[in-house]
Structure 1
Amino acid sequence: MTPGGELCHAFLLHMRPYRERSRLVELWTLEHGRVSVVGKPAVPLFQPCLASWRGRSSLKTLTQCEQAGPPLFMEGEALIAGFYLNELLVRLLPPDESHPDLFATYAGMLEHLGKREALEAALRGFERKLLAAMGYGLSFGEDSSGSPLSDDCYYRFEPGSGFMASAEGWPAKTLRAIDAADYTLPETRRAARQIMRLALGEHLGDKPLKSRELWMRS
């Protein structure tokens, strides 16, 4: 149970029917990380809430869940992006492992999605922070041996290793632009999307992301 029945800052990441009248809910909390609970929360996805639970097994019982902030409205690509963030967190973060900085970034991302500004750049930034929180941060300023990138070389990305000089790939200036979060040029956006897909794919495995399928159909 939450210590002393305390209310924890949380977001609902995923819900699905459980037995006849309940739901299996994936909570992501500031204090305790990802927690699986059974209950019927009245708070929708993407809304900040305060939650408590009880139980000693890996599946807890939700005892309270109340909205803790103004409602966020998302639709279209922004809504699909929100589903994408949630799916990444459910698939990649282990339970009971707190990531306060990433939690704050996620909360800021949801507000950003609600405003529908610079969607792709914001997603790439979140993906980088998620990988760093998992212990797999990417360095766009050096190759796999730790040497600075050379303006005379192109680089390919090898998941688990990093950037390696190659006859084909991306020039150093593109990788430096990604590192500086400068997505002005379409080739920078395209490269960042491809690299992040490779980096995340190593940990996601062969099971496709449902949110990505929604994006392709939208």
Structure 2
Amino acid sequence: MKRIADEPGFVIHRYDWSESSLILEVFTRRYGRIALVAKGAKRPSSNFRPVLLPLQPLRVAFGGEGEIRTLKGAEWVGGHVMPTGDALLSGYYMNELVLRLLARDDPHPSLFDSYAATVSVLACEHGEALEPALRSFELLLLRDIGLLPALDQQTSTLAPLGAHTRYSLLPEAGVVESRSDDTRASLTGAQWESLQRALDDEAPFNATLQQAAGFMAELKPQLRAMLNYHCGVSQLRTRQLMIDLQAL
């Protein structure tokens, strides 16, 4: 591959490669999730050392032909500070989802924009926007990788939704009508349709964030079940960490 320069990206994971170097998983706008070796990045004198941080917008340069390419340059774009507290853990949760669900070298430019917008929300002082932003990102992630069914119809029959009838989103069946004795979380047909319209909007992150704010308590467990199912786990590591910290 020719050298790529000035590519927007975020470091989503890093681990040791040698005494002085790191392997990075970087989410880029035009190339998707890529693996880069940052040679000498652990040395105190390295220019990479203060830059290669999670949840910070970067411009990266890289090159190479193999599965793991070589990082040639990285600059901090700026614009916001590092999230802290619950927002920081939420950012690590997003990174785990990207790492588990996105294949390498599979571009998702619109999802990258949603990720960047969510990171901006995490870094701000408005805690009330945190949960809606995460729900919006989860919906857009599932949609972009082809795992979210159409939310404005019943998945198995393609029948339209009743505005006042309640439906659940299930990992193995999609949107199904809830039974009267069903204890699972659900939304009305009108609410599911409003989410689908938001996903189809020209600015889907902002539109979905506004819609999700109205029924987060019902939406959260359904999306969590979907994500756990497709990640092949009963509990994501970052989610378990949040539970453990809250129990202290």
Task: Specify if TM > 0.5.
Answer: yes
Whole-angstrom CA distance in 2 between matches of 1:125 and 1:34: 20
Whole-angstrom CA distance in 2 between matches of 1:157 and 1:71: 35
Question: Could you say which residue in structure 1 is the equivalent of 2:105?
Answer: 96
Question: Could you say which residue in structure 1 is the equivalent of 2:204?
Answer: none
Out of 156-165 and 6-15, give the one that drifted further.
156-165
Alignment RMSD: 2.2
Stretches (4+) displaced over 6 A: none
TM (norm. structure 1) is 0.87
Q: Deviations over 1:131-187 (max 9, x none)?
A: 111012343332122222225644333314312223214252584387262433xxx
Q: Deviations over 1:168-218 (max 9, x none)?
A: 14252584387262433xxx3222111101221222002642211122123
Give the C-alpha shift of residue 71 in structure 1: 4.2
Q: Secondary structure at the match of 1:10?
A: strand
Residue segments in structure 2 that go unaligned for 5+ positions in a row: 42-47, 199-210
Question: Could you say which residue in structure 2 is the equivalent of 1:108?
Answer: 117
Give the C-alpha shift of residue 124 in structure 1: 0.5
1:139 to 150, 156, 174: 150
Q: What one-letter code is carried by the residue in structure 1 that aligns with 2:123? A: G
Identity of aligned residues (%): 29
Residue segments in structure 1 that go unaligned for 5+ positions in a row: none
Contact 2:15 2:24 in 1 (8 A): yes
Structure-2 change in CA distance of 1:178 and 1:210 (3 Å) = farther
Question: Could you say which residue in structure 2 is the equivalent of 1:214?
Answer: 241
Structure-2 change in CA distance of 1:173 and 1:153 (3 Å) = closer
Contact 1:141 1:175 in 2 (8 A): no
Paired residues, number: 214
Contact 2:82 2:123 in 1 (8 A): yes
Question: Could you say which residue in structure 1 is the equivalent of 2:232?
Answer: 205
Whole-angstrom CA distance in 2 between matches of 1:155 and 1:95: 34
